[in-house]
Amino acid sequence: MKNLYSFYILLLLALAATLYSCDKYTDVHKEYIKDGEVVYAPKPDSVVFIPGKGRLKMRLWMYNGVNVKELVVLWNNHKDSLVIPVQFKKGRDSMEANLGNMAEKTYSFDIYSVDNFSNKSLLYTQFGSSYGDMYAGTLLNRRVKDLVLTDLSGDIEWYAAPQGMIFTEIRYTGKDGGLHTTRMPAGDFNVTIDVKAATTFEHRSLYIPESESIDTFYTEWVGHPTAFPSTYVYNREGWSVLAVSDETASDGGGKNTLLDGNLSSYWHSQWDPSNAPLPHWAVIDMKTPKKAAYLEIYRRPGNTDAKTVLVYLGNDSDAASPNWTLIGTGVYPSTQSDKLTINATTNASGRYLKLVVTESYRVPFSSIAEVYVYGN
């Protein structure tokens, strides 16, 4: 009986301790539930800030936000804010808003939603940057590498674009005398323009500070110090070498290499089975009649197998025709100089061009790598 009495006493003590512990646990939460259970509005699903010049664009997605009536955006340690009325559809929906008059710096934004019952969501934190004069002051114009003028157009070659650049704009005088502007993507290295000979151009570069931006930054227009030439190289597309006096195609590649743009290939006179005697000649079809200001004729690199070259124009492709007009003569130096410039001494024109090698420093051989014709 005594043991049973002791058991009841211990049981009552344990029960009292349990009730006391529960009461203390409830005391901890009373402060938070005294006004009832907390209800949160839907939190933004995702937010990005797109940079601009002195401004940003907020792009926000919300899931099941049909009861959300406004969004609140806080920044500068919540000293600045923007309240945006919204109306979302069922499922996943999005909205955009612009933040203007934003000083150039990086911001930390806190965003929360408010529903129709004035419940607030938990905060969503995201970062974004605004750009301005400091960023613009770091931008460089893309550099020009080379200029080429043909009878068809002008070509500008560029060095690699700086990081962040998206376009280069070129402003130039066209063949019609008018002022034109064209735009070249940063990934390109050449731009072709219908430019007037002996005129210059100006250019500027376009940048965005990040991979996506609502504003484009421009460098100042810069005039290129060098004008396009007053003379131009004829575009050789469609030209062909109709005939040669002789050739050794296994040495250099044959007659067609005169127009392939490769100085390492060349037309060489015959040496197998016999050494063909001088003179050696080649006839080139330029497709339409042309006047020449001068020619650039390249010898085989590092070789002296040509000395004196005569240049003719005509409208008869027969090399033996008496109707060819001699327009110039040139002599290579005895040293290993690859390029020979021959100025035209007449105003004659012709569709066909004939080169005649009359002398060589290593008789009877001759070798010519490339032929360019210039007009003005």
Q: How many CB atoms lie within 10 A of CB 70?
A: 15
Could you state, in order of their start, the residue ranges of all structural domains in the chain?
46-130, 136-229, 240-375
Q: Which CATH superfamily is domain 240-375 in?
A: Galactose-binding domain-like (2.60.120.260)
- What pTM, to 2 d.p., does this model score? 0.73
Cβ atoms of residues 294 and 353 within 8 Å: no
Strand order of the sheet with strand 92-99?
Answer: 46-51, 56-63, 92-99
So what's the pLDDT on residue 336?
A: 74
Alpha carbon distances (Å) from 46 to 7, 114, 122, 126, 129: 61, 16, 13, 9, 17
Rounded to whole angstroms, the Cα distance separating 376 from 151 reads 9
Amino acid at 224: H
So what's the pLDDT on residue 251?
A: 92
Which of 84, 70, 150 shows the shortest CA–CA distance to 116? Answer: 70
Amino acid at 186: A
Q: From its phi and psi, is residue 254 left (phi > 0), alpha (psi between -120 and 50) or beta?
A: left
CATH of span 46-130: 2.60.40.10
Rounded to whole angstroms, the Cα distance separating 53 from 130 reads 6
Amino acid at 321: S
**How many residues does this entry show for the chain?**
376
With b for 16 or more beta-carbon neighbours within 10 A and e for fewer, the 321-354 pattern comes to eeebeebbebebeeeeeeebebebeeebbbbbbb
Do 46-130 and 136-229 share a fold? yes
So what's the pLDDT on residue 25?
A: 46
Rounded to whole angstroms, the Cα distance separating 204 from 181 reads 11
From 3.40.50.450, 3.20.20.210, 2.40.33.20, 2.60.40.10, which CATH number describes the 136-229 domain? 2.60.40.10
> Per-10-residue mean pLDDT for the chain, 376 residues long?
53 55 49 68 97 98 97 98 97 97 98 97 98 97 96 96 97 97 98 96 98 97 95 96 96 96 96 91 98 96 93 97 97 88 95 98 96 95
So what's the pLDDT on residue 282?
A: 98
Sign of CA dihedral 313, 318, 319, 320: negative
Identify the bridge partners of residue 168 per DSSP, sorted by sequence position. Answer: 184, 205
So what's the pLDDT on residue 26?
A: 46
So what's the pLDDT on residue 34?
A: 55
